[in-house]
Amino acid sequence: MKKNDADYQSGFIAIVGAPNVGKSTLLNQILGQKVSIISKKPQTTRNRVSGIYHQTDYQMIFLDTPGVHISNRLLNRRMVDIAFSSLSDVDILLIVIDSTNPDEASEQLLFDQLKEHQNPVILALNKIDSLQKEALLPMIQSYTSKYHFKAIVPISAKTGEQIDQLLKEMKVFLPKGPAYYPEDHITDLPERFIASEIIREKIFQLTNKEIPYAVAVTIEQFKETSDGRIIHIHGTIHVERDSQKGIIIGKKGAMLKRIGSRARKEIERMVGIQVMLKLFVKVQKNWASDEKALSEFGYE
């Protein structure tokens, strides 16, 4: 089937749920490669991340959103606002829930928002690879009573179990329309943004406690050499306190080197050529509570 045929389907799908339910893992599993950063720590995703899934007769454009949760911190509230702003921008809403550890407070916050939502809503019960099978049917019955979902699909984003069934259920509600992106596009995000997210992911993976949540990353330079063989990237890691800067740099610069080395290798896999990555650490007092700083760092 050609992409200009009358029966071709295309549409936008927001992936929404509480922190750490596996939204980014699900998106990466669907696409077959990584466009959204992953961490066992909650609240890893801070911006909407677009991933584009292509088939011969349809195209799905996914928005991976920050985790919906209750918080008084300005950064966290901004992240939830970003998630909720997706609800009106899409053709289908995909709610993801951790079947092994439901977050009832966050779910209620989300279900309250759904009262105004007119488009189809599909529920994915994730992490069934870690769930006792006898617990699944009562859980499905429970969620059936909470909202009129068009479908409830148990899945494992980690193993890929039931992902085909989930895609089939979503395809039913895709509107007719043209392909918005060429087949070779897996995301509409610039490489510059993905590089900053990769750096932030390595900080999540290598540091503990409050450090990941006090960090923002900006790219000051992303420049390819004239012969196209090397990309020079200068990134700044923004933290809130001097003590956090010391942890990020580490003894004799060891931690910053580890972060840079891991990030560089992954960025090289993305761009396909050599990368020269330089990282700097800057203290910006209480940036996560500063409206201006949040806007400068892209948390609109």
What is the rounded CA–CA span in Å between residue 260 and residue 273?
Answer: 16
| pLDDT tens profile 156-168 | 999 999 999 999 9
The pTM of the whole model exceeds 0.75 = no
Domain harbouring 45, CATH code: 3.40.50.300
One domain for residues 110 and 221: no
| pLDDT tens profile 137-180 | 999 999 998 888 999 999 999 999 999 999 999 999 999 999 99
One domain for residues 111 and 224: no
Domain harbouring 261, CATH code: 3.30.300.20
One domain for residues 24 and 162: yes
Please count the structural domains in the chain.
Answer: 2
One domain for residues 235 and 145: no
State the residue range of the domain holding 27: 9-172
One domain for residues 156 and 240: no
What is the overall mean pLDDT for the chain?
85
The predicted pLDDT at position 264 comes to 96
One domain for residues 167 and 26: yes
Residue 88 reports pLDDT greater than 70: yes
For residue 26, tell me if it sits in a domain. yes
For residue 2, tell me if it sits in a domain. no
260-285 mean pLDDT: 93
Residue 116 reports pLDDT greater than 90: no
The predicted pLDDT at position 1 comes to 46
| pLDDT tens profile 19-39 | 888 888 999 899 987 777 665
One domain for residues 159 and 202: no
The predicted pLDDT at position 154 comes to 97
For residue 4, tell me if it sits in a domain. no
239-264 mean pLDDT: 94
One domain for residues 36 and 168: yes
